[in-house]
Amino acid sequence: MTLKSTTLAAALALLVSAGAASAEGQLNIYNWGDYTSPELIKKFEETHKVKVTVTDYDSNDTALAKIRAGGHGFDIVVPSANYLPIWIKEGLLLEARPDQMPNFKNVDERWVNVAWDPGRHYSVPWQWGLSGIGVNTKVYGGDINTSAIFLDPPKELVGKINVEPEMNDVLFATIRYLGGEWCTTDKALLKQVRDKLLEAKPKWLAMDYSVTEKLPSGDYAGVYYWNGAILRARLKNPDVAFGYPKEGYPLFMDSVTILKDAKNVENAKAFMNFIMEPENAAMISAFAKYANGIKGSEAFFPADMKGAPELNVPAEFEKAGQFLETCSPEVSQLYARIWTDINK
């Protein structure tokens, strides 16, 4: 067989394994909580004759620790951009080559040559968004485009604030609020960050994941949280408003990857290809209310996502958003110590 025909045969085999509707068996997905569309899973199960099990995690660190420990039984995990290089470097992921799958043509060019997975040899976009401010405007009517809402909260919000329990997002916002840059090693500044968070925390009510219910119900009056969840809260209570911290806010993209020790690799590849279909990607976004990175998916978005203020950054705040780079192990250890102190 010639090299050319061998290459053609390999390409055809990849198309079949990634796109066929005849796969059978199981697929075990490990994903963020309240982040996976049941309708999407049902459609995939019916299309591919695969039984899907979804298990939730609550943070990047939780997911990474679970997989490092082994014996997990998962096929797919959905790390954030700043953690994905760690997963790749530690050899935890399969180089599944989604860039060679039939539906990869639908990935928006903006999300192809990304710093955390150049050319997308390991990952497929799931959803992307940012951490910002959500406030019940019946309780507080002042400026909400600032991290002061949770770091120096106005008296109307004291004792009524929830902060997302995600270390990097909270530290990023605090570092920027105090004039620093992400991955800084400035010990004096990091002491200020620690002290500011220790000063602010007693003024918060919680650090949990119940914003979609407790912000619209009035249990929380202010939050530092992910934009899609705040959008979901606003749809239940129109008094909820969204703010973009002018001092700086973190952007994120979570991506679907296949674990190196996955037992159901072909089904996992089929799922990767499946979610790059615009109509299917739109189902992901319609559930969790985040953008997804697949061209043409917006045409299938529900009306409540089109023009949503939580998804359309005003020009004056665009430059304040930043994807978090992966800090050095030494810096990560410094940040982890601060986070440990905050959570004591």
- Mind listing the pLDDT tens digit for each residue in 183-230? 999 999 999 999 999 999 999 999 999 999 999 999 999 999 999 999
Cβ atoms of 125 and 292 closer than 8 Å: yes
* Alpha-carbon separation of residue 251 from 14, 26, 62, 290, 318 (angstroms): 33, 33, 20, 12, 11
pLDDT in tens, 134-188: 999 999 999 999 999 999 999 999 999 999 999 999 999 999 999 999 999 999 9
Confidence of residue 43 (pLDDT cuts 50, 70, 90): very high
Residue spans per domain, the chain: 25-128+253-305, 129-251+311-343
* DSSP one-letter code for 22: -
Cβ atoms of 245 and 132 closer than 8 Å: yes
Cβ atoms of 121 and 97 closer than 8 Å: yes
Fold that domain 129-251+311-343 belongs to in CATH: D-Maltodextrin-Binding Protein; domain 2 (3.40.190)
Whose tokens are 């040559």? That residue is 113
User: Do the domains 25-128+253-305 and 129-251+311-343 sit in the same CATH topology, yes or no?
Assistant: yes
Q: Kind and range of the H or E element at 133?
A: strand 123-136
pLDDT in tens, 57-98: 999 999 999 999 999 999 999 999 999 999 999 999 999 999
pTM of the model: 0.88
In the numeric block, which tokens belong to residue 185?
Answer: 């090693």
Give the architecture-level CATH label for domain 25-128+253-305. Answer: 3-Layer(aba) Sandwich (3.40)
